[in-house]
Amino acid sequence: MLPQITKADLNSFPATHDPRQVHCDHAITCRRRWTYASWELSKIQQEEITLKGHQLSRCPRSSGAPCLNQRMSEASFYIPMYTQPSPSPRKKRALLIGINYKGQHCELRGCNNDIHNILPCLINQWGYDPTNIVQLIDDGYNPPPTRANILLEMRRMASYARAGDSMFFYFAGHGGQIRDLDGDEVDGYDEFICPVDYQQSGMISDDVIHEIMVKPLAAGSRLTALFDSCHSGTVLDLPYLYDSRQCKFVDGITPDARIKKSSQAQVVCFSGCEDSEESESIAMPGQPIGGLMTFAFIHVFSCTRALTFQNRFEQIRAFVRATLPDARQHPQFSCSNPLDITLPFYI
């Protein structure tokens, strides 16, 4: 019996005037309603569909961002830095964040489950030591995923990085967009994630995430990030975005921002959807509700074969299409330096 998903009547969220909140005085009007400096989730749209005789439940992890048709141009000044991670890194660390926003009007179901699903894979299949995995979950048992805690652990993970290390970052929760003011976004909008206390402390923008978790990484280190949230296509502000239709890298940020957004480390980011799209939660047959992108990622990366980057990414997209033929999301991949897509790809 699949769990029942009840609709939540979501009211307007008050704006915060915390100076740490990014660009809140430039909010925009959109499909799910931004007004002035405050924003709201009108309703988390939830529905049930039938696929191959099974009933699936689905709902988006939306923050009410606008739908935009992003134009992608071929990446300028393409630098063929074909660096691949070692199958046996010196040390592995992970930071996992899952937020259900319990008790709030924007409450989600499934983000805590996502952590429980991906954690065994990190330990048993991908070789991460449990003592080197930090979990921030609003389940009442782990440290809460507040803005302060998230930023602290991001900084800590980046500061610990040394050449040869491999790191894994995971976020499941609400994401959104707001107008870009510094000219580094191709589509004109910054992306952000919502900590559990965003109403009091503010959101965390892609500019901030890049500055504290990507930019400081040591040369020769490796970070693999997975965002199962809405509007997350370029949430790490990485210069190169892979276009699966053209099988080449295009601009993830504006060419003028490439030097500012460069990194000495090899950073790769898997995102649940394009910047203008929503990532969905889904209850698979016999399993508790969780993120569709997370299910796809675990399914593909649990394969023991040395698959190429192109194989893995295309299989992730194929899993999403096969599970929900009418899925409103298209997984994305971006990186700090172009990768050779024909070589084996490891976490």
Catalytic center residues: 174, 230
C-alpha dihedral (17, 20, 24, 26), degrees to nearest 10: 130
> Residue 222: which of 318, 84, 120 has the closest Cα?
84
What backbone phi and psi angles, to 5 degrees, belong to 12?
-70, 140
What backbone phi and psi angles, to 5 degrees, belong to 115?
-65, -45
According to DSSP, residue 205 is labeled: E
Encoded tokens for 97: 């964040």
> Residue 174: which of 154, 198, 144, 148 has the closest Cα?
198
According to DSSP, residue 264 is labeled: S
According to DSSP, residue 26 is labeled: G
Please check whether residue 206 is in contact with residue 271, taking contact to mean a CB–CB distance below 8 angstroms. no
